[in-house]
Amino acid sequence: MMDVSDGLLIDAARLGAASGCRIEIALDTLPLSQDLLAQAGGDRAARLDAATAGDDYELLFAAPAEAGAQLLGIADEIGLPLSRIGALSQGSGLALTDAGEPVAPPERLGYEHRR
């Protein structure tokens, strides 16, 4: 589990690298606020912009697929919005899809701290 304050895509890529896995994100499953939808719309460009923006202060975590129903049930019981947005698989790197179509990752995945 980690926060996504630097942007979902860059932090997801970091999670995958730290876990030794490929991370797959389905852009069409990202939860978008009504304000964002009103301002930017809900097309692929808007979803990519949202996925690379920082300061969201949300949490990203991975759990075994077989725990999904139980986790969603607990989240529902306590009123915690929880969204499944992707999966980890064997390999490395970041893979994006939108409505089942492969999408090339953008050049900039999120905020990068200077070293």
Q: What is the pTM of this model?
A: 0.90
Predicted local distance difference test score (pLDDT) of residue 66: 94
Going from the first residue of the chain to its last (115 residues), give the mean pLDDT of each consecutive group of 10, the final group possibly shorter.
93 95 96 92 94 85 93 95 94 96 95 82
Report the CATH architecture of 2-103: Alpha-Beta Complex (3.90)
Burial 53-70 (b: 16+ CB within 10 A, else e): beebeeebebeeeeeeee
Q: Where are the alpha helices (DSSP H) in the chain?
A: 8-19, 34-40, 44-52, 68-78
**Domain segments of the chain: what residues?**
2-103
